[in-house]
Chains A and B, each alone.
Chain A
């Protein structure tokens, strides 16, 4: 079945540092890929998406490129802010309108 793997553990970094969160996936066919963000006490917000190979999703300074050859969709941001502190989830959707999520990564940005 479809599955998503995110790097283990929280990510702690200083303000203005470069952020990378790794995400790899296993899927049949050609899934769509997503990054969601969850702030404390809230639901999930879509951060960005890519629906086919080599697409780059971008939003609020975050970027991720759909790499079919490496089955990856790594999230990057060049200069993080304290307000970016949240939990980030990588997810995929096949043809059945059903999201499969990674475990999530807590990002803590220190001023």
Chain B
């Protein structure tokens, strides 16, 4: 079974631009979560999507948004980029059934650098 894939693996943008990151979950998984990893703040939860609906949201400004498609693939978008948005963005999928929760499988991440 293929793992979680994220594209692109690396991105360089400048302040003020916007960026879209993509995540394809493990086949059959309907839940996709996004995390931001920085040296200063560590790993922080951004949001989770299940069956095309946002189920949970972390404490990030509205510049961070996401969506999920009917095939469970997910995208996250960051608008008006700031230097502090430079981070590794990790996507995780799980075979959540809608009631309980299951192990999250992580992708390799997208390394975003904002200049």
Contacts and interface: CB of A to CB of B under 8 A. Distances in A.
Interface string B39-69: 0001111001010000110100000000000
B31 A97 contact: yes
B94 interface: yes
Contacts of A96: 55-56, 101
A95 B101 contact: yes
Interface size class on chain B is 20 to 34
B108 A42 contact: yes
A59 to B, nearest CB: 12
Contacts of A41: 108
Given A43-B109, A95-B101, A96-B56, A104 B33 contact: no
A100 interface: yes
B9 to A, nearest CB: 9
A89 B92 CA distance: 15
A43 B48 contact: no
A110 interface: no
Contacts of A91: 43
